[in-house]
Amino acid sequence: MKLKLLTLMILASSHLVSQELAKFTVQVEKELIDAPVSLVLDGLNYNTDSGDLLLFEVDENGETPIPSQLETGHSAKLWFIMKGVSAKNSKRNFILKTEKNTDFQQPGVRIQKKHKDLSLLFNEKPVLSYRFETTFPPEGVNPLYKRSGFIHPLWSPKGEVLSRIQAPDHYHHYGIWGPWTLTHIDDREVDFWNLAKGQGTVKFKSFLAEVEGEIFSGFKALQQHIDFGGQGEDQVAMNEILDVRAWNISEKVWVIDYTTSLNSPLPNGIMLNAYRYGGGIGFRATEKWHKNNCSVLTSEGKSRADADGSLARWCIVEGESDTDEGRSGILFLSHPSNRMHPEPMRVWPLNANEDRGDMYFEFVPIRYEDWKLEPLHSYTLKYRMIVFDGEMNAETAEKYWNSFSSMPKIEIKK
């Protein structure tokens, strides 16, 4: 009886210190799946001294607490995940409260930093590693192939390594990365991809932020695209802020955002010339994948045989793996705000690498048109990767793209 009375007193006390901040409705116009959603707090009577934010979903069963995470910046946002499938033309209702001194919740995705890599782990299972120290090529290979600032390995949820670096056929391939190939600084060509040319490279400079939370964890890294200067001194041609975050959604599927922002400090900027490779997000797949066990499906119904050079909102790249399902893959999503969206792609043909058919994929926003980066301007490209084991169909890919392509409308109730 005393224990029951104590429990009631604790609940009553908790109710007294919590305060309702807002009620709101999320209006779902397209079918979504496990969608990260943000509520802008600027118009609400909230500041960081108001207390901790508590979010509840409201349905016929009452109020159910759900995890949320505050992100501050130019605008304060509260992030949460609308778990499961949200039907087209449906509504989901929420209530936001503040409360002093709530218990700290452990992050779903944890950061682990060692001497060479910053890694993201979901419940101690590795998701990806970002290499911030310089990686040198094998002994006897041109040292110009060294570089830092790339993602490798990328693991599937069941532990299959999906990326590859320094393949003997292309020592300048580095897992998941986005260097620019054919560029011009004034009248001089600079290649930041084909490192053996000795014209340029990309280097990790510093971490700008590292974040752990209940909804997402990740990092922002400053990467510098270095022009070796021809006959002059080395110079920074582009500063790139790479923002990588893994969403705390499921142990069965990784949801990873890859956002890159470019700014040139050069007085005349830099020209990113039209070419079949360059920038965006590039992926060199595991050596296990070849033309007989790897497939491609795009949002426009293209396969590996005809995807190269076509335009797409999303692309599924999957292949054989040692998991129970026997296959693993990545759904690459291009955001509608990206240049040239739907974006052109580079997909290696079936006869790539002496007819072996190794797998390389890239969204290429400059494939058909030059892109001039003017000085004192910033340019952003946003991508999302859905990493899975087994197979994925077009219907599921569309739900993930809907969840990434636009934020659902939120109506705050007065």
The pTM (predicted TM-score) of the whole model is 0.94
Q: What is the pLDDT of residue 17?
A: 61
Residue 20 contacts residue 97 (beta carbons within 8 Å): yes
- Phi first, then psi: what are they for 386, rounded to 5°? -105, 110
CATH number for the region 2-104 comes to 2.60.40.1180
Rounded CA gap, 238 and 258, in Å?
18
| Amino acid letter for position 168 | P
The per-residue pLDDT for 10 is: 41
As a whole number, mean pLDDT of residues 154-165 equals 98
Work out the number of other CB atoms within 10 angstroms of the CB of residue 51.
18
Degrees, nearest 5: CA angle 404-85-396: 60
Q: What pLDDT, on a 0 to 100 scale, did the predictor assign at position 101?
A: 61
Closest CA to 79 of 89, 68, 88: 68
- Check pLDDT > 70 for residue 61: yes
Share of the chain above pLDDT 90, in %: 86
In the predicted model, is pLDDT for residue 71 greater than 60?
yes
Identify any residues that bridge with 216 across adjacent strands, giving them in sequence order: 247
Tell me phi and psi for residue 6, to 5 degrees. Answer: -65, -40
Query: Which residues partner with 332 through β-bridges?
Result: 315, 385
Please say if the pLDDT value at position 82 is more than 80: yes
Average pLDDT of the segment spanning 107-131:
95
Q: Rounded distance, CA 72 to CA 37, Å? A: 15
Distance of CA 385 to the CA centre of its chain: 6
Domain ranges of the chain: 2-104, 109-405
Beta strands in 136-234 (DSSP E): 150-154, 165-167, 170-174, 176-177, 183-185, 188-190, 200-211, 216-227
Please state, rounded to an integer, the average pLDDT across all residues of the chain: 93
| Residue 110 near residue 127 (C-beta atoms within 8 A) | no
Q: Are the C-beta atoms of 247 and 172 separated by less than 8 Å?
A: no
Output the pLDDT for position 142: 98
Find out whether the peptide bond into 137 is cis, omega within 30 degrees of 0: no
Q: pLDDT value at position 35?
A: 98
Answer yes or no: is pLDDT of 220 > 90. yes
- pLDDT per position as a tens digit, 276-302: 999 899 999 999 999 999 999 999 999
- For 4-44, write each residue's pLDDT tens digit: 434 334 444 444 467 899 999 999 999 999 999 999 998 88
| Burial group, residue 320, by CB count within 10 angstroms (0-12, 13-18, 19+) | middle
Lowest mean pLDDT among 70-84, 101-115, 244-258: 101-115
With 90 as the cut, is the pLDDT of residue 106 above it? no
Architecture of the domain whose range is 109-405: Distorted Sandwich (2.70)
* pLDDT recorded at residue 8: 36
